[in-house]
Amino acid sequence: MLSPTRRALEDFDNQHEFERLAADVLNAEGYSDVEPMAPRGGPDGGRDIKFRDGETEAIAFVTLEKKIRDKFTRELAKQRRGEGHIAVFCNVSVTHAVKRACSEAALNLGYTVAFYDLERLRSLLDTSLTVIRRRYLGIDDSVSARLRSDICKFLRFPDTFPDEKAALTTLERLLPDRRPRQLFDLLMTHHDNDVLEAPGIGSTLHGYMTAYYAFRQKVAAFEAEASTKIVELYRPRPAFPAPIEIHLQYCLLRFAGLSKADISGGIFFLNYGITWESAETMFGVLSADTSLSATISELLRSYEQFGAHLEEVASGV
């Protein structure tokens, strides 16, 4: 059966990305001072990458051309005599005869040669360099496979997913659909780059993380502003935060669309002499603030959109 890695390498068609892949392979192989010479295009003097092999100066030829011997001959002709070591990266299989001919030509100028051809790259990417395989070829490694599995289980069995992290804002705690927050918390247990590079779904997941974090920051800012206004309106001014938190909870439930009757008929959470009437009065003052009303409406719409985004995530994993 044809290896997915081999097939992806054979189909690779972006020279600049192939040079980046080669640089990452050299770094992973333990070479030092790895420096792509023209990562955004342009002339490079026949040296796609400069690096060091111990104390020896080295260069890399990186190509997607199929006629490796012709390419090697052209690039070798641009080099000065005796600069150490050459690594050749390509996505075709190089025969022993071609390797020998290239090595002999290089030795005449004082160079040794190592070929990272199709099969050698496949072997490295399928064993010790699976992170690089994931990054450039879009093939899962164990990390992205585990991330994909975690998300699939969460989307399939959301009610059994452990909700171990407390909501950081009152609004998140009150909203009945916990899934958007739980997905964010799940993604945050994985490294940022691992999420971004998850094949096929990474950009969607990373965009979700970024957007939800911004949403949470906006919610925290809104709650701080609303709490400040409640403190200013509260008489007598409370000596501790609990009464403010009770009023904030009631107002958020009202902003979310519940009526006074809905809330008072549910779980009783009033204390410190607060009544449903006084809580409703506080809500009336806050809801008259057009800036606060507009902000909370936007936040609630955003949370609904996160719920809709779960379908996009489900289709990707």
Residues 121-155 have pLDDT tens digits of 999 999 999 999 999 999 999 999 999 999 999 98
**Of the candidates 76, 57, 64, 58, which has an alpha carbon nearest to the alpha carbon of residue 19?**
64
Neighbours of 17 (CB within 10 A): 14
Mean pLDDT of 59-67: 95
Neighbours of 160 (CB within 10 A): 8
Mean pLDDT of 34-40: 80
Could you give the CA distance from residue 317 to residue 314 in angstroms, rounded to a whole number? 6
- Say if residue 292's pLDDT is above 90: yes
The angle formed by the CA atoms of residues 177, 183 and 184, to the nearest 5 degrees, is: 110
- Say if residue 238's pLDDT is above 80: no
Mean pLDDT of 43-67: 87
Tokens of 35: 């420096």
Q: Is 115 exposed, middle or buried (0-12, 13-18, 19+ CB in 10 A)?
A: buried
pLDDT above 90: percentage of residues in the chain: 77
Tokens of 275: 């009544």
Q: Which residues contact 88 (CB under 8 A, 6 or more apart)?
A: 60, 61, 63, 68, 72, 94, 102, 113, 114, 115, 116, 117
Q: What's this model's pTM, rounded to 2 decimal places?
A: 0.77
Predicted confidence band at 82 (pLDDT cuts at 50, 70, 90)? confident
Could you give the CA distance from residue 177 to residue 304 in angstroms, rounded to a whole number? 9
Tokens of 87: 């690594």
pLDDT above 70: percentage of residues in the chain: 95
- Say if residue 1's pLDDT is above 70: no
Largest CA distance in the chain: 94
Mean pLDDT of 289-305: 95
Of these ranges, 39-48, 71-80, 98-107, the one predicted with the greatest mean pLDDT is 98-107
The whole-number pLDDT of residue 165 equals 67
The whole-number pLDDT of residue 300 equals 96
Could you read off the pLDDT of 177-221 as tens digits, one per residue? 999 999 999 999 999 999 999 998 999 999 999 999 999 999 999
Q: Is 290 exposed, middle or buried (0-12, 13-18, 19+ CB in 10 A)?
A: exposed
Domains identified in the chain and CATH numbers: 4-139 (3.40.1350.10), 143-316 (no CATH)
Neighbours of 176 (CB within 10 A): 5
Phi/psi zone of residue 228: left (φ > 0), alpha (ψ -120 to 50 degrees), beta? alpha
The whole-number pLDDT of residue 191 equals 93
Secondary structure tally for the chain: helices H, strands E: 15, 5
DSSP 8-state secondary structure symbol assigned to residue 2: -
* DSSP letters spanning 264-288: HTS-----TT--HHHHHHHHHHHHT
Average pLDDT, the chain: 91
Phi/psi zone of residue 296: left (φ > 0), alpha (ψ -120 to 50 degrees), beta? alpha
Strands (E), the chain: 32-36, 49-53, 56-62, 84-89, 111-116
- Say if residue 44's pLDDT is above 70: no
**Of the candidates 294, 299, 290, 287, which has an alpha carbon nearest to the alpha carbon of residue 218?**
299
- Say if residue 40's pLDDT is above 80: no
Predicted confidence band at 42 (pLDDT cuts at 50, 70, 90)? low
